[in-house]
Amino acid sequence: MLQNALTIADLKARARRRVPKMFFDYADSGAWTEGTYRANEEDFAKILLRQRVLVDMTDRTLASEMIGEPVSMPVAIAPTGLTGMQHADGEILGAQAAEAFGIPFTLSTMSICSIEDIAANTTKPFWFQLYVMRDRAFIESLIGRARAAGCSALVLTLDLQILGQRHKDLRNGLSAPPKFTPKHVWQMATRPFWCLDMARTKRRTFGNIVGHAQNVGDLSSLSSWTAEQFDPRLSWEDVKWIRELWGGKLILKGILDPEDAKMAVGSGADAIIVSNHGGRQLDGARSSIAALPLVKQAVGDEIEVHMDGGIRSGQDVLKAIALGAKGVYIGRPFLYGLGAGGRDGVTRALEILKRELDITMALCGRRDIRTIGPEILDREPRLED
Ligand code: FNR
C-alpha cells in the first residue's frame, strides 16, 4: 500500500523490491566511490533549523514561482535518462503526476518516452533537457521538436561533456531494452509486476534519439555513442548559440563553481541549477547544498538560482530555499516513487515532500515559502564545535 509509505526512504525500499536490479542500481548509484553522491544527502543533516513558538501558523502557503511559472511548491522533477525502464511509460506517468500536482516536469534527452509522447499525454507545457552533441543539425532538430511540443523551458545540461563512470552499471551490464542473458532474465522474472507493465508498452528504447543513434542499447554502445556524440568542446559561445536558436526560457544545469556561476550571469540564461548531476559525474566534488551558498554569494540576485542533489525530505527543500534557491529539483525521489508505484508512486513522493515542507516551515514559525531566507537557519555553535 503506497499510503503506508511515510518517507522517501520507504518508497526507495519498495522500488528496490519492484524494479529489476540493473535499473534500480542505475538510479541508486554515483560515480566511482560515490563520495559526492553520499555527501549530497549527508550535508543536509549538518544544516540546522531554528524552532520558533507562539507565532501565528495559520493560512500557510507553499505556492511560489520558478522562472516566472507558478508552482504549487518550489520543487520540479529533474531530467533523468532511461526513466521508462524504472516503470513502463515512466516519463509519461511522471509528467502526468507533476502536471496534476502543479509543478514542472523536465524530460531528459535520454528518455525512453519521446518529446511527442509527453506532449500527446499531457495538457500543460513541460520542460525539455538538452545534451549538446557535436551534430549541430541534430541539436537543431531536437530544439525544433521541443518548440513544436510547446515546451516552456529548455534545461541545458553543462556537466556532461564527458560521461562519468558508475561501477554498478558496468558490473550489471545495463542495457535498454534489457538483454536476455540468464542474469537479466532472472532479474526480471523476480519482478513480475514490472514485467507485466513492460509487456503492455512498446516504449523500450531511447525515444528522442532513435533514428539518430543506430544500435544504441547496452551500456558499452551507449558509452561509445556518448563519447562520439556529446561535445567535449562545449563552450559559452555554444550556450549563446542555443539561447538564440531556442529563443525561450533557458535554464543552465550543472553549475557548481562560483566562477562558472558568474559566467552564467552574462549568458542571457533565465536561471542556473547548482548541481553535480546527483554525484554521477565528478566524484570528489563538493555537495550541491554546500556549493549553493557560495554560488548565491557570487551571483546575488542577478540570476535565478535553483539547485538539485540530495533532496530527500521537505526539510531539505526548506534548507535549500533558505540558502538562496528559488526552487529545487528531485531526481531519485521521483524515480523511487515511480518504481514503487507508477504515477501514484510519484504523486505519493510529492505528497510526502509537500507535507514535510509545510510542517517544517510552520515549526520554523513561517507561513509563506516566498519569504523564507537564511534567518530560519540556526548558525550558533554546535555541540561538537
Ligand atoms: C540523472 N541526471 C540527469 N541529468 C540530466 O541533465 N540529464 C539526464 O539524462 C540525467 N539522467 C539521470 C539519470 C538518473 C538515473 C539520475 C539519478 C540522475 C541528473 C538529475 O537531473 C539530477 O541532477 C540529480 O538526479 C539530482 O540529484 P538527486 O535528486 O537524484 O539526489
- Enumerate domains of the chain plus CATH numbers: 2-378 (3.20.20.70)
- Looking at residue 178, what is its pLDDT? 77
Calculate how far, in angstroms, residue 77's C-alpha sits from the geometric centre of ligand 1.
10
Nearest to 187 by CA among 207, 173, 199: 173
* pLDDT value at 233 more than 70: yes
Q: Give mean pLDDT, residues 79-103.
A: 97
Q: Residue 180 has which C-alpha cell?
A: 536476455
Round to whole Å and give the CA distance between 247 and 2: 41
- Looking at residue 28, what is its pLDDT? 98
- Looking at residue 197, what is its pLDDT? 95
Calculate how far, in angstroms, residue 24's C-alpha sits from the geometric centre of ligand 1.
14
Calculate how far, in angstroms, residue 323's C-alpha sits from the geometric centre of ligand 1.
21
Mean pLDDT value across the chain: 95
Task: Give 385's pLDDT tier (boundaries 50, 70, 90).
Answer: low
Task: Could you list the residues known to form a binding site, using ranges.
Answer: 26, 79-81, 108, 129, 131, 157, 166, 253, 275, 277, 280, 308-312, 331-332
- Looking at residue 214, what is its pLDDT? 66
Task: Give 328's pLDDT tier (boundaries 50, 70, 90).
Answer: very high
Which of 22, 166, 256, 277 for a ligand 1 pocket mutation test, highest count of atoms within 8 Å of Cβ? 277
Calculate how far, in angstroms, residue 80's C-alpha sits from the geometric centre of ligand 1.
5
Question: What's the DSSP call for residue 368?
Answer: B
Question: Which residues are known to be catalytic?
Answer: 277
Helix (H) or strand (E) holding 316: helix 314-322
176 close to ligand 1 (CB < 6 Angstrom): no
Which of 23, 280, 286 for a ligand 1 pocket mutation test, highest count of atoms within 8 Å of Cβ? 280
Q: Give mean pLDDT, residues 203-226.
A: 77
Round to whole Å and give the CA distance between 359 and 110: 36
- Looking at residue 217, what is its pLDDT? 66
Calculate how far, in angstroms, residue 277's C-alpha sits from the geometric centre of ligand 1.
5
DSSP strand pairing (377-378 vs 48-49)? antiparallel
- Looking at residue 210, what is its pLDDT? 78
* pLDDT value at 359 more than 70: yes
Task: Give 223's pLDDT tier (boundaries 50, 70, 90).
Answer: confident
CA distances from 189 to 145, 180, 380 (A): 37, 11, 53
Q: Residue 335 has which C-alpha cell?
A: 524515480
Q: Are 166 and 31 in contact (CB under 8 A)?
A: yes
> Residues 283-304: pLDDT tens digits?
999 999 999 999 999 999 999 9
Task: Give 256's pLDDT tier (boundaries 50, 70, 90).
Answer: very high
Nearest-5° angle of CA 99, CA 101, CA 107?
40
CA distances from 200 to 96, 195, 203 (A): 18, 9, 9
Which ligand 1 atom minimizes the distance to the CA of 333?
29
Task: Give 129's pLDDT tier (boundaries 50, 70, 90).
Answer: very high
Say whether 345 sits in a helix, a strand or coil: helix
ipTM over 0.90: yes
Q: Are 48 and 378 in contact (CB under 8 A)?
A: yes
DSSP strand pairing (75-77 vs 327-330)? parallel
E runs forming strands in 23-105 = 48-49, 64-66, 69-71, 75-77
* pLDDT value at 74 more than 90: yes
275 close to ligand 1 (CB < 6 Angstrom): yes
- Looking at residue 221, what is its pLDDT? 73
310 close to ligand 1 (CB < 6 Angstrom): yes
Which of 28, 37, 42, 80 for a ligand 1 pocket mutation test, highest count of atoms within 8 Å of Cβ? 80
In angstroms, how far is the first alpha carbon of the chain from the final one? 43
* pLDDT value at 131 more than 70: yes
350 close to ligand 1 (CB < 6 Angstrom): no
